[in-house]
Amino acid sequence: MLRLALFLLVLATATAGERLTVPTPQEAVERMVELAELKPGENVYDLGCGDGRIVINAARRCGVRAVGVDIDPQQVAKSRANVQRAGVGDLVTIVEGDIYQTDFSDADAVFAYLQPDLLNGLIPQLRRMKPGARIVTFDFGIEGAKPSRVERGAFGGRQHCTIYRYDVPWKDDAGTTWDIFTPSP
Ligand SMILES: C[S@@+](CC[C@H](N)C(=O)[O-])C[C@H]1O[C@@H](n2cnc3c(N)ncnc32)[C@H](O)[C@@H]1O
């Protein structure tokens, strides 16, 4: 428990400009993809895709079109090699870029494993997603938003992991619906 607390603290307090590349455990990747309830042909993004395992898993298992975006050229190269190795190049695109400059308004589902400041910085874009879209995050939830599912457990030898699913438009703790028509709190 102490080790987990320290791990999350390091992740959560990474200073601006510092990007953490801790991967989601494979078992959690699989559960996150299940929780998103993807249908063939849907559009899916992993915002900060790291080694690309989430988009590869989603494309392989669910037949979705998947885009992984990462700002780190090394992660992008790793992702692209993994996509090629997995033989899902027809469904998966890896983009080198900044998630805050990425238009993912066509997304049916978005995955994100980002430290809190990075995840919460995405809120204006997440609020513009289309109704019915799902957002699945790992370890950290979206500030002020009420998840529709929360799963806690051990994944791939890592204790005390948390997966959050949000359905767009989502509600906050006071029950207010957050969508593009609701003023920012
Ligand atoms: C904790 S890792 C998660 C990787 C992968 N999604 C996973 O779950 O295994 C976060 C990733 O986000 C990327 N990242 C951080 N800030 C970013 C930004 N502004 N734009 C794009 N990628 C970013 C990092 O380079 C890193 O690969």
Closest CA to 166 of 85, 109, 102, 122: 109
> How confident is residue 21, by pLDDT bands cut at 50, 70 and 90?
confident
Mean pLDDT of the chain: 90
Check pLDDT > 60 for residue 185: no
Check pLDDT > 60 for residue 16: no
> How confident is residue 173, by pLDDT bands cut at 50, 70 and 90?
confident
User: What is the CA(175)–ligand 1 centre distance, in A?
Assistant: 30
| Predicted pLDDT at 3 | 54
**Ligand 1: residue whose CA is nearest its atom 9:** 23
Rg (C-alpha) for the chain, rounded Å, is 16
75 pocket-lining for ligand 1 (C-beta < 6 Å): yes
The residues with which 93 forms a beta bridge, in sequence order, are: 67
User: What is the CA(153)–ligand 1 centre distance, in A?
Assistant: 22
**Ligand 1: residue whose CA is nearest its atom 25:** 72
For 89-124, the pLDDT digits (tens) are 999 999 999 999 999 999 999 999 999 999 999 999
**Ligand 1: residue whose CA is nearest its atom 26:** 21
Check pLDDT > 60 for residue 17: no
Ligand 1 mutation target, pool 10, 20, 76, most atoms within 8 A of CB: 20
* Sequence spans of domains, the chain: 22-178
User: What is the CA(95)–ligand 1 centre distance, in A?
Assistant: 12
User: What is the CA(46)–ligand 1 centre distance, in A?
Assistant: 9
**Ligand 1: residue whose CA is nearest its atom 19:** 98
The CATH fold of domain 22-178? Rossmann fold (3.40.50)
User: What is the CA(70)–ligand 1 centre distance, in A?
Assistant: 6
For 30-59, the pLDDT digits (tens) are 999 999 999 999 999 999 999 999 999 999
